[in-house]
């Protein structure tokens, strides 16, 4: 067996979702020496409350953003020194994939491709764990006694599983073409606390809590294998440390249950008569009869299922009974055939205590959230998402140069008209320009030199400190990415950075030069912005 792997800085995508949040909380709890950075765009099935056990930990950081944003992903990998990625982010509800499969392609294939390309470019990733699904194997024969093993053919039968299989092909290709250290997992159905109730078990539990009938697609003879969330989180813990690069691992269980039997067991837990509280409804377009996995390879690493079905189902029921409002109004998800829940631009907000600002920040994604195919006869051709920059500092050398670069690259931009210390004027600029990014190249440097600042301290601090922080605050409130152009004149040679040694200052080093008022004002804003 290969030597155990020890990560340092882990990026977990989709970590406010169901499975990934349990994995994140487990790693935070068991490995205080690991830095865990989580990235999630907070769509309908994500909830920051899922990460409450981790939020107060000093080694935890939450970032709101989309894996489809290449700039954001590269920024995170570099600034957080990420060496390990656990890629959970995906659209996963099969029913939704029949309604808008393009959304699944964008999230599951394109998003994965962006991550892989960032890994290739940065060249610093030592493990890339790609989370796939048992559904890529397609339907298992009803009479099969041996489950699909990791080398079995991929035969997806629905749009969701097809996008997951496509993502796997990209992962495998990057592993072979560029030597990316990839590991892929394929898991059975997972259940437990925190799961959004579009999935069968939490949906049935919430309906039973209301005394409403449980809808069964088709005749309920479909067979599924269910694993408790904590057992699955432990499986990922084992794969992270003991999994071999280039390998695939099934996460499964030999215990199978018919959907109708699951419904009957939940009825019994709530002392409901299955004959009167189970309703058979129209089946989905294609509903695989069975998924059956051979998980011996994972067991060889030392993992085994700990939670028996009866115990896990009881724990899950008790959790939902104790937390009926965890997801807010989910009446739409509880319908027999829910409408599309992936509403563009609407994200589930954190409705518990505020997340600690010292360990989190948000980046708004401005690419379209939905993809719609229109009639080419009645609609203009689709346009690529565009950038638009709002630049402050028009009269300065850097601000002027930024404008010239934008013109050369044909990137739409406008210079800000408002004064930086005036939040209302900045907000007016943003509402007028509607930028995707804000660049601050404004600053008082003094004319003809910085000595001017020594006798004009109010003017200097008004722009360099108050103005910069006001702009940053407005951008934060509007979810805009702001880039601030600072200066290296906040450092001076010292014992650890002697003149001529070639030892330079790093981005995280604290300013140590206050020999001029100009440098002092620039140093003032560095800690708040970081």
Residues carrying an active site annotation: 134-135, 160
Q: What is the pLDDT of residue 358?
A: 35
Quote the CA–CA distance of 277 and 265 in Å, as a whole number: 12
Q: Tens digit of pLDDT for each residue in 138-186?
A: 887 776 767 888 988 898 888 888 899 999 999 999 999 999 999 999 9
Contact call for residues 45 and 90 (beta carbons, < 8 A): no
Q: What is the pLDDT of residue 112?
A: 96
Give one word for 271, left, alpha or beta, with left for phi > 0 and alpha for psi -120 to 50: left
Quote the CA–CA distance of 331 and 97 in Å, as a whole number: 20
Q: What is the pLDDT of residue 364?
A: 41
The DSSP bridge partners found for residue 484 are 440
Residue pLDDT tens, the chain, 530 long: 568 999 999 999 999 999 999 999 999 999 999 999 999 999 888 999 999 999 999 999 999 999 999 999 999 999 999 999 999 998 866 656 566 677 788 889 999 999 999 999 999 999 999 999 988 998 877 767 678 889 888 988 888 888 999 999 999 999 999 999 999 999 999 999 999 998 899 999 999 999 999 999 888 888 899 999 999 999 999 999 999 999 999 999 988 899 999 999 999 999 999 999 999 998 766 566 777 789 999 999 999 999 999 999 999 999 999 999 999 888 888 888 776 544 333 334 444 433 433 344 444 443 333 333 333 333 344 444 578 999 999 888 898 899 999 898 889 999 999 888 898 899 999 999 999 999 999 888 777 777 888 888 888 888 888 888 899 989 988 889 999 888 778 778 888 888 888 888 787 777 877 778 877 877 777 777 76
Quote the CA–CA distance of 6 and 25 in Å, as a whole number: 18
Annotate 191-214 with three-state secondary structure. Answer: ECCCCCCCCHHHHHHHHHHCCCCE
**Which class does domain 9-193+224-254+290-306+351-362 fall in?**
alpha beta
Q: What is the pLDDT of residue 349?
A: 42
Sort strands 278-281 and 214-217 into parallel, antiparallel or unpaired. Answer: parallel
Sort strands 214-217 and 182-187 into parallel, antiparallel or unpaired. Answer: unpaired
Q: What is the pLDDT of residue 20?
A: 97
Q: What is the pLDDT of residue 95?
A: 58
Quote the CA–CA distance of 357 and 477 in Å, as a whole number: 13
Distances (CA, A) of 226 to 22, 152, 198, 232: 16, 21, 16, 10
| Helices 468-478 + 423-433 axis angle, to 10 | 50
Q: 389-529: what fold?
A: Rossmann fold (3.40.50)
Element holding 72 (H helix, E strand): helix 70-79
Sort strands 256-258 and 223-228 into parallel, antiparallel or unpaired. Answer: antiparallel
Quote the CA–CA distance of 419 and 429 in Å, as a whole number: 10
Quote the CA–CA distance of 216 and 381 in Å, as a whole number: 41
Quote the CA–CA distance of 437 and 413 in Å, as a whole number: 10
Token pair belonging to 68:
């489809």
Buried b / exposed e across 28-61, counting CB within 10 Å, b at 16+? beebeebbbbbbbbbbbbbbbbbbbebbebebbb
Token pair belonging to 214:
């449980």
Number of Cα atoms under 13 Å in the Cβ half of residue 456: 16
Distances (CA, A) of 78 to 32, 193, 507, 528: 22, 34, 12, 20
| Helices 159-178 + 111-122 axis angle, to 10 | 10
Give the distance, in angstroms, between the CA of residue 500 and the centroid of all CA atoms in the same chain.
Answer: 44
Contacts of residue 521, Cβ cutoff 8 Å, sequence gap at least 6? 444, 453, 460, 461, 464, 465
Distances (CA, A) of 487 to 398, 443, 476, 491, 525: 12, 10, 22, 9, 11
Which runs of E-coded beta strand occur in 359-440? 360-362, 389-392, 413-415, 437-440
Q: Tens digit of pLDDT for each residue in 93-147?
A: 665 656 667 778 888 999 999 999 999 999 999 999 999 998 899 887 776 767 8
Which runs of E-coded beta strand occur in 344-487? 360-362, 389-392, 413-415, 437-440, 481-484
SS3 of 215, please?
Answer: strand
């Amino acid at each position: 067996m290969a030597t155990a792997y020890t990560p340092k800085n882990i990026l977990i995508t989709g970590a406010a979702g169901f499975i990934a949040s349990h994995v994140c909380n487990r790693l935070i709890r068991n490995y205080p020496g690991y830095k865990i950075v989580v990235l999630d765009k907070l769509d309908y099935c994500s909830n920051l409350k899922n990460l409450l056990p981790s939020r107060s930990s000093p080694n935890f950081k939450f970032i709101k953003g989309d894996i489809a944003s290449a700039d954001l992903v590269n920024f995170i990998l570099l600034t957080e020194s990420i060496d390990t990625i656990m890629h959970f982010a995906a659209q996963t509800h099969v029913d939704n994939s029949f309604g808008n499969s393009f959304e699944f392609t964008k999230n599951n294939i394109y998003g994965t491709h962006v991550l892989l390309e960032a890994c290739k470019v940065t060249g610093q990733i030592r493990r890339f764990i790609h989370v796939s699904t048992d559904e890529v194997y397609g339907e298992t024969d009803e009479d099969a006694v041996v489950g699909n093993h990791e080398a079995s053919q991929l035969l997806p039968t629905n749009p969701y599983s097809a996008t997951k299989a496509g993502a796997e092909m990209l992962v495998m290709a990057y592993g072979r073409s560029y030597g990316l250290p990839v590991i892929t997992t394929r898991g059975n159905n997972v259940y437990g606390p925190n799961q959004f109730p579009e999935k069968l078990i939490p949906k049935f539990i919430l309906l039973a809590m209301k005394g409403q009938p449980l809808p069964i697609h088709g005749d309920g003879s479909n067979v599924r294998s269910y694993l408790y969330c904590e057992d699955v989180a432990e499986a990922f813990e084992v794969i992270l440390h003991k999994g071999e690069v280039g390998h695939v691992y099934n996460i499964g269980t030999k215990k199978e249950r018919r959907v109708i039997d699951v419904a009957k067991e939940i009825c019994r837990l709530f002392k409901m008569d299955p004959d009167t509280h189970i309703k058979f409804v129209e089946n989905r377009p294609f509903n695989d009869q069975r998924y059956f996995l051979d998980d011996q390879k994972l067991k060889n690493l030392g993992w085994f299922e700990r939670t028996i079905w009866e115990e896990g189902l009881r724990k899950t029921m008790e959790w939902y009974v104790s937390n009926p409002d965890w997801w807010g109004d989910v009446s739409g998800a509880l319908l027999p055939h829910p409408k599309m829940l992936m509403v563009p631009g609407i994200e589930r907000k954190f409705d518990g205590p505020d997340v600690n600002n010292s360990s989190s920040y948000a980046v708004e994604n401005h690419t379209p959230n939905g993809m719609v195919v229109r009639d080419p006869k009645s609609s203009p051709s689709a346009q690529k998402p565009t950038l638009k920059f709002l630049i402050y500092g028009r009269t300065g050398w850097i601000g002027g140069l930024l404008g010239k670069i934008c013109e050369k690259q044909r990137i739409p931009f406008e210079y800000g008209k408002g004064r930086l210390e005036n939040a209302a004027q900045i907000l007016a600029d943003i509402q007028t320009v509607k930028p995707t990014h804000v660049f601050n190249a404004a600053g008082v440097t003094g004319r003809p030199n910085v000595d001017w600042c020594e006798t004009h301290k109010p003017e200097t601090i008004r722009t360099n400190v108050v103005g910069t922080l006001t702009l940053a605050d407005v951008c934060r409130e509007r979810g805009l990415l702001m880039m601030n152009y600072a200066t290296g004149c906040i450092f001076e040679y010292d014992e650890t950075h002697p003149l001529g040694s070639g030892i330079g200052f790093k981005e995280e080093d604290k300013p140590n030069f206050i020999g001029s008022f100009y440098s002092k004002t620039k140093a003032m804003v560095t800690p708040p912005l970081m």
